[in-house]
Structures are given as structure tokens and as C-alpha cells.
Structure 1
Amino acid sequence: MRLRPVALAALFVLAGCSGFAASDRTEAVTPAPVPDAEPGATGVPGLTNDSVNPAILAQAHRNALDDQSYTLTVHWDASGREWETRLGVEDERRYRYLSTQTTGAYSDRLFVEGDVRYSRHRRPLGIQYRRNRSVPASERFGHHTGRLVETYLPTGPVAVRQLGGGYLVVADRAPATFDRVRNYTVRATVASSGWVRTFSVRYFDPYQDVSVRYRFEYSAIGETTVERPAWVEERWPDDFGRETATPAMSDDG
């Protein structure tokens, strides 16, 4: 199946408080077991000294995210249309998300505390607030960067070299499903656990006449804490004026 890579890259950034995916109703995913690294390999599942299996590496990345606090920063640029996204996860039921269009009037903010999800959406016609039931961070966000790794890394030969306690992976050829793109380059830094800490891809898509740059980076791993935003307390002061808050909630949006 031939993919339209610009649309695929945008899917994970432009969806606002739906997470990095198009649907707000996220299905739980049961991680598949990760095969042991082959003899003579780097020790990272799916990565040898000169090749990569993106599906195995992506699953190792997803597994490494479980039960970790972290900060994730994402930048997406398609010929001047730019979005910046920042996600801070303290634990499964406390996290904060901000996605901003740097060249327009759109932004999405989300804060989860316990069983409640608070969100603020800025659009050209005004601001909308919502309060809903929350879902765990791993269900809402945990698997999407793994999908990017699996989609944008080409299977087979790549350049691999040691970098600190992990590896740098570089390829200048696109996966077979992106056969129409040009000037393709992808780089990833991978920890020994399989956690893909940084990932960047650049290419030109002549089909849509657009140059794409996409990058994500994890930081403050195991050290991220999340504070309640001021806009949440200003909008719903009664939720935080007593020990037990029981706000009205809905399952949509």
C-alpha cells in the first residue's frame, strides 16, 4: 500500500487533545512480546551493527515507556506550516499536554489529574473548555511514537554506531511504501533498552509539493513532574476547593 507521508506525519501532531491520533476514543493495546536480540547484535531488540527491524525496535520502544515519567517534545513542519507539541507525563493519571500552531491561531491544552481530564481549545472564533473522564497516559499517547519509528525507519541495512550508552541509527533511503519521496534522511538515537530517545526525518514529497521535517525528543526520563495549570483552577475553582471533587463528566470529546 502506498502511503501519503505528509498526511501521516501530520496525524500525530495536528489532532490536538485527541492525542497524537485522529480518534479521541483510544483502544487499549496489548504489547506483543519482543524477541530476544540475535547473537552478535547490539543487544537492542531489532537492531544489529548494520541493520534494523523497525517493527521489533518499535515494540521495544513502547515497552520501555511503560511505568516511566518523561517529557516528550515534538516539532512538525510542512513547508512553513509548523506545530510544536509538548507532553509531560508524571504517571498514568497525571499528565499535561500542549500543542500549538506556531504560524496560526490554533492551540490545544490538556491536563489530567486522577479520573478527570481538563482541556482548553483555542480556535479563530474563540476558546472552548471541556471536562471529561480521563484515560491512562499510555493508552492515550504511549504507542504513537512507536508507530512513527515503525513507519519511517526502512527495513534492512542502515548505518549504526555507538553513541554514549546507546546507538545512533542513520538511513538516507525511504521505506518502500514512501517510493515517491526524495531527499529522504532519518536519524534516531536509541538507548540500550530500545527506547528511541530522539527521532528525526526529512524529505520532499513531490506528489504534494511539500518539504517535511519531523522530530521528537524525550527528556527528563524518570524525573518529570507535572503541576496543575492556572487555567484549570481558574475555570473550575470548585473542583479544588474541597478534598473530594465530583464534577459532572461526559465520555465524549
Structure 2
Amino acid sequence: MNWRLASIVSIVVLAGCGSVLDGDTGLNEDAPTETLTPVPVPEVTETPVPLPPGVTDSGIRDADALLDAHQSLLGTQSYTLRVRLRVDETLHTRLIRVETPTRYYSHDVLGGNDGNVTQYASGPSIYVRTAYAGITRYDRLDNTRPPESRTVRLSRQFLQVGDAVVSKTTVDGRPAFVIRGNYSTHPEMERIRNVNIRAVVEPTGLVRSMNASYLRTGETGPATVTRSFAYTDVSETTVERPDWVVAQWNGTSTPE
């Protein structure tokens, strides 16, 4: 075998392979190349969240408009409401579940272990259980109106904060607004001072929660007061008949 001829052939073959590995594709580099035109990306415009009725970017300008919307919404929906009132170290609580204006449940716990009052309404009757000083009493009354929560009336008194900080938040994944404000003396009640307010309001006007803390002065001296309420399970609340209603009336005159 002619080794010199074999070596020359190998050098020629390897030289050809090397040009491919080095990136030489054999194409004419002077030929024009196709360019891609960039596609513009559309801008996403965020839909602005409307402010609740009576509310501006800098505070509450019309508390009546806000709370009228609040009442109108709750008049057609079920809800659960929790209310707390603390005066110094004494705490009072109220739980209300409303399925319809004539079917609801409420439970009040009086501060200082003074007792509790429970009501269950269905149809034309309200069934009441009152426990006080070791004595339990049962009554049945005519059902003529929904339970009194007093939250709207109290809100009208305290949500009079013309200058406040309004910021965005969410409630159950939906947009809402936090309103924070304070004033040294209540505009309508001089004996209420150092007022701090925090409320969470939905764009529809539903006041989901409110916390008001203040110093109350009077003949018995000053008292530190905190009032708060919160609405939950809006449009999802149901009310069941308590066992004590069945037991007390022996199932003969109880509502369905």
C-alpha cells in the first residue's frame, strides 16, 4: 500500500470536515437575509374601580349617600353581622344572621357576665330566650320587623371624616377601599374626643367593616370606647331553627 498517497487523501478529507465544524455552511454570505418585523404588544389598560357613593379620593363627603346605598344593598341580601362594644374593660357582643327580613337569628352577650338574649324569628313569630342572674325566660312575640343592629345609625355619627386617607384593598378577592381618618373632637358630640376611624367599603357602598375608637367624657369620668362591626357571608347566610325553640314549645307551634 502507498502510505504517502493514503496520507494525502486523509488530509484532504479532514480539511473538508473541519470547514463544516467551523461553521462554514457553504452559503453565499453576501446574499440578503430575511428580517422579521416585530409585532407590537397591545397595552393592557386597567379598568378603574369606582369610588363608593359619597366617597372621594380624600375622604367621605356625603355619609348619608354612602349609608343609604349600604342599607339598600342589605335589604335584598342575606348576611352575618358581628358587633363588638368595649367600654374600658367591659365587652358587649352581638351576632346576627339574617336570611330574610322575617327569618333571622340574633344573640347578645351583655358585658360583665350579666346575661344573654337570643332571638329566633321565622314567619309571624319571634322566639326569645333571656338568661339573666341564673334565671332563663322564654317568650314568643309578633314578628313585625327585622333585627336592630344600630350599625347604620352609629356609622352616620362616626363616618363624618371629611379629610381621610383612602386606599385600595380587596375583600374576598373583590376590590374595596380602606378609609382612615381621625379628629380631636366629634363634630356633633363634644364629649367624644380623640376619635380614630377605620372602615372598609366596597364600590357599591356596602360598608363591610368599621372600627371607631374614642375617649368619652361624662359625669362619671372618662371612658375608653371601641365600637366595631363586620359583615360576612353576604348573600350566603342561612338560618336554622335552634333546638331550644323545639324543646320549649314541644314542636306544636314552632316555625318550619
User: Does the pair score TM above 0.5?
Assistant: yes
Structure 2: how far apart are the matches of 1:54 and 1:124? 41
2:201 is the alignment partner of 1:195: no
Q: Which residue of 2 aligns with 1:239?
A: 252
Structure 1: how far apart are the matches of 2:151 and 2:217? 25
Q: Which residue of 2 aligns with 1:104?
A: 113
User: How far apart are 1:161 and its partner, in Å?
Assistant: 0.9
Query: What's the RMSD between the two structures over aligned residues?
Result: 2.2
User: How many corresponding residue pairs?
Assistant: 201
- Pairing of 1:171-210 with structure 2 (within 5 A): 171-173=181-183, 174-207=185-218, 208-210=221-223
Structure 2: how far apart are the matches of 1:60 and 1:102? 32
Structure 1: how far apart are the matches of 2:245 and 2:138? 9
TM-score by length of 1: 0.73
User: How far apart are 1:179 and its partner, in Å?
Assistant: 2.8
Secondary structure class of the residue paired with 2:130:
strand
* Greater gyration radius: 2
Query: Could you list the runs of 5+ residues in structure 2 that have no partner in the other structure?
Result: 1-47
- Higher RCO (C-alpha under 8 Å, 6+ residues apart): 1
User: How far apart are 1:178 and its partner, in Å?
Assistant: 2.8
Q: Which residue of 2 aligns with 1:167?
A: 177
Asked whether the 8 Å contact 2:186–2:193 carries over to 1, the reply is no
Secondary structure class of the residue paired with 2:67:
helix
User: How far apart are 1:240 and its partner, in Å?
Assistant: 5.5
Q: Which residue of 2 aligns with 1:11?
A: none
Q: Which residue of 2 aligns with 1:123?
A: 132
TM-score by length of 2: 0.73
User: How far apart are 1:42 and its partner, in Å?
Assistant: 4.2
Name the amino acid aligned to 1:91.
Answer: T
Moved over 4 A (4+): none
Q: Which residue of 1 aligns with 2:59?
A: 51
Secondary structure class of the residue paired with 2:188:
helix
- Pairing of 1:53-92 with structure 2 (within 5 A): 53-92=62-101
